[in-house]
A = this chain, B = another copy of it.
Amino acid sequence: MQGLQSGEWKPGELIPSEIELAGRFKVSQGTVRKAIDEMSAENLVVRRQGKGTFVATHHEARSQFRFLRLVPDGGVPHYPENKIIEVKRLRAPAEVARLLDIKSGDSVVFIRRVQSFSGVPTILDDLWLPGAIFKGLTAERLNEYKGPMYGLFETEFGTHMIRASEEIRAVCADEVASELLHVEKGVPLLNVERVSFTYGDKPVELRRGLYLTSQHHYRNELS
């Protein structure tokens, strides 16, 4: 039943009504409803009463903070400014290839960027993306684009992230981090290694973030 997802309709698109899907698959409306409810719980789809059901997209206010967990101490979450430091092509090292499920030596796009809150550099991200999917990704396009990178990935490269797995450690700022985040070497930072997945649980992004947590924290709800 869920096999129809991811391919048939694009993010943001309206999918057929429950009644129509029920007819198409020869099941009752209740069964369609249950299937859609499950997809909605997984954030694959968004329901709007009176309007219809839409394929989830990263171009929505409610999606903005789904993958950004760093919030200011005692303040309201807001989106950081973005500065691209470097974009280049390289051959995937063994570890990167393993996590992205590609072959060692395959082309990958490497991106380094710094994100700032109210002008204060706070996040240093290194990203590795499979070159085969992200053809033609340049620093210019990344700089032009406003808002979360996942919006660009979705619109320009047809790759919608549906989930991610993170490993968090505490580390000391190295040379690079100290320079880009304007802190002393040795300052403790959150090291967040993320692998993001698109439809079919296919890994399509490896990201290693260094978060400065003197005025922000990583928020997590356990339930």
Contact = CB atoms under 8 A, between A and B. Distances in A.
Contact of A222 (B165, B190, B223): B165
B221 A165 contact: yes
A213 B170 contact: yes
A171 B190 contact: no
A164 interface: yes
B66 A217 contact: no
A137 B169 CA distance: 33
B165 A189 contact: no
Query: Sorted from nearest, which 4 A-B pairs have the closest CB atoms?
Result: A170-B188, A169-B213, A168-B218, A170-B170
14 contacts: A41-B41, A163-B223, A164-B223, A165-B222, A167-B217, A167-B218, A168-B213, A168-B218, A170-B170, A170-B188, A172-B188, A190-B190, A194-B222, A220-B220
